[in-house]
Structure 1
Amino acid sequence: MTETQADTIIELLETIQFFAEVCAMVLSFISGFVSWRLIVYAKNHKDIW
């Protein structure tokens, strides 16, 4: 494997890692938002408990 190939692979891996981190951030934001909405909904609809 030449150095150029290795550099390309490393850059590709870094890009994938960046996208994976962004996806993880978005997912944790969404799950946090959903659980917050559920808590608010539960507090406003105490009759369902």
Structure 2
Amino acid sequence: MPEHNYLTKEQREFFLEHRWLHIPNAINKKILDKWMSDFWVRLGWDKHDKLT
């Protein structure tokens, strides 16, 4: 198995078993806020209209 320098052994094992991994603060909150501010518009949906 290749060496990984960023995850702990426990994180790697968890990911291999569950196929997901929570990494707090992996993406800067300002970037996420900007991206999410127009998320629905970019999808062509209305966040207040459950039909979309």
| TM-score normalized by the length of structure 1 | 0.29
| TM-score normalized by the length of structure 2 | 0.27
Hey, which of these two has a bigger chunk of helix by percent?
A: 1
Larger radius of gyration: 1
